[in-house]
Structure 1
Amino acid sequence: MTTRHGPRVLHLLRKHGPLTRGRLGALSGLSRTTLYDVVATLLDEGAVLASVPQAILRKRGRPAEVLALNPEAGHVLGIEFARDAVRVAAMDASHEIVGTAHEPHGVDVAWPVRVDLAWRLADALTGGTLRSDGVNGIGVGMAGPPERSSLLTVRHGGVAELVRERFGTRAPVDHAARLAALAETVWGAATGAQDVLYLRLSHDVGGGLVVAGRLHRGAHGTAGQFGHITVDADGAPCECGKTGCLETVASVGAVLNACRSVGGPAMDLPELEAALGSGDRTAHSVVARAGAQVGRVLADLCHAVGPDVIVVGGELVAACPAVMESIAHELASHAVRGPGPQPEVRSSGLGSFAAALGAVALHRQRTSPTSLRRLVEAGVVA
């Protein structure tokens, strides 16, 4: 969008339906000159159509032109290829999130099958418009190991090509956790914050930084690999090739393994959640220990980057919200207090769809300021 007022005009057309320029000016509060420029841009981009209804044509005088959203303008899609599921989010021409969808699959499912699944989910979300070239753009989020070799680049490039062939448009790819950081600042727990640190505790551990309102990737695209900060030099081996990384103590698998190693009942996340709910001391101790490690790492990161807000999400937080208490306590104990307020620690507001929504924002960062409350009311995010 080439104008900062465009999303406001598109939102009004979506909310109220076709409007005359006069009515649109009254609702938007924009001056006639500004509105003229905004509408001209939207017409040029094909996001808006202008017409004169037959009933108005039959009247005397200069006919009043009516503006409406172009139903053929297409959607922007966000796709997350997670470890065992595909998640899709769709945004329409008015920059409104119109829906999300997901479907689980086995961890060994081939990539062409995953891409086909993403296409079916997206086609259903957009009312079959994919069959008539109804896509304006796609962003893709993927989990992956740190860039210790060319493996990640090769895999991401291959998936991007599969998506391009299936959907007929280029699909930029980024780390899922990093995209989730962006989504949380647009629609989620950190809406409106300019400096945000996001950490995802999932089957892997990763995150992202939003600095001055923009996603920060670092000089070589490696920013946000918080899961590979060393917390115990003599600890367990990590997938990255090092030992004692945060991922070895705070990922879903690491917490479940720690629970089992001390005789705990948790064999999977639902069982761990049930054990916590029943007051099992072993389960609470394991989760608290993992949260303490996370809190200490976040304290060190705060000293380096100074965020306004810290958002923590992922399957571990969703199943074990008690981990947030340990994280917040340890962060408060270890962070050096400066002249300003301490960063707030919040649970993810977008849950499992954070990365898919972030992939939408990756393609088009200038979205309307839809709040989490409105997404929930619309049934987009549960």
Structure 2
Amino acid sequence: MLLFLGILISTLILGYIAFVNLYPSFGGDVSPALRKEYEKSKNFKNGQFVNQKDVPEDLTFMETLKLARKFFFTNVPNGSPMQDITVKKIDSTDIAEYRDNTRLIWFGHSAFLLQIDNKTVLIDPMFGKVAAPHDWLGTNRFNSEMPIEIERLPKIDAVLISHDHYDHLDYNSIKKLKDKVEMFYTPLGVGVHLEAWGIEKERISELDWWQDVKFKELKFICTPAQHFSGRKFNNRQSTLWSSWVIQSHTESIFFSGDSGYGPHFKEIGKAFGPFDFAMVECGQYNKMWPDIHMFPEETAQVGIDLNAKLVMPIHWGAFKLALHDWTDPVERVVKKAKELDVDLVTPQIGEPIFLGHSDSTNQWWENQ
């Protein structure tokens, strides 16, 4: 029996090693030379990136197994929509020829198309069916159709990526996008995945927290988040995670990426607010991981911390990555936003958001 168990465990380990090394979706690895370079960052300590406070805690192997068992075997009655989510469609020509006021189009979860100052920017462009390294390792997204298929997107000026988790950085999406995009902007280290997928180093710009870069008439500022990183067991915290500030001559936009609630939101609001529009994480939370994902009530509070004129809850409406009802995030944040007098917008997937003109709650999820 012990011999059989030993052979089984060895086979599983060898299979995992082969899968990780041969399957491209796992991305690249930070080299020793890059780690040496990252030591210059105040956010890099003892060989890995860290948060402002000491989170998340490293789980033991048994704690990890317990968490995985709870996630995969707990029945959540309303964890996914009863039917495929209906999305608004957008045409490639409409995107290519758009020259009007700033607008955003939500693709579900945290993926956006932003058109500002006659530039087209994609944010965390996860168009994939499953938020996992392989389709067998996750559940399908709630909408089988996207507002526009990735192959039909026109030229993209820039892509912003918040961190390297599968629900934000998708191998197949990047492979389909890479020849359409002029520049990619990421937190420190995330560029190793893009290079592994065939994107030239010259088209990748990596930033540390509080660093900024000019892109034509726009400015992108890499700002803090409270989260973690890693695409496989042995490279956790090897790349940085972030939020982003996007500034034009007349407008300021915030994108939270993934983050637990913390003092960094007030710091960002003080440094770069007020914001015309803020996309703030609101979904995939649980009491077991309160420091790395916000609860909906905290999402509404972040709108105040940032001094944002208009807030949109994101990181929901596409994937089941936690144990709450799929509509719980939006229902709770709508309630709390009313209490705090925070202006909220909740568009249907694919419905354009025009800055200065979108300030109502469309409760489209009630019909799904």
Q: Mark yes or no: TM-score above 0.5.
A: no
More helix by share: 1
TM-score under structure 2 length normalisation: 0.29
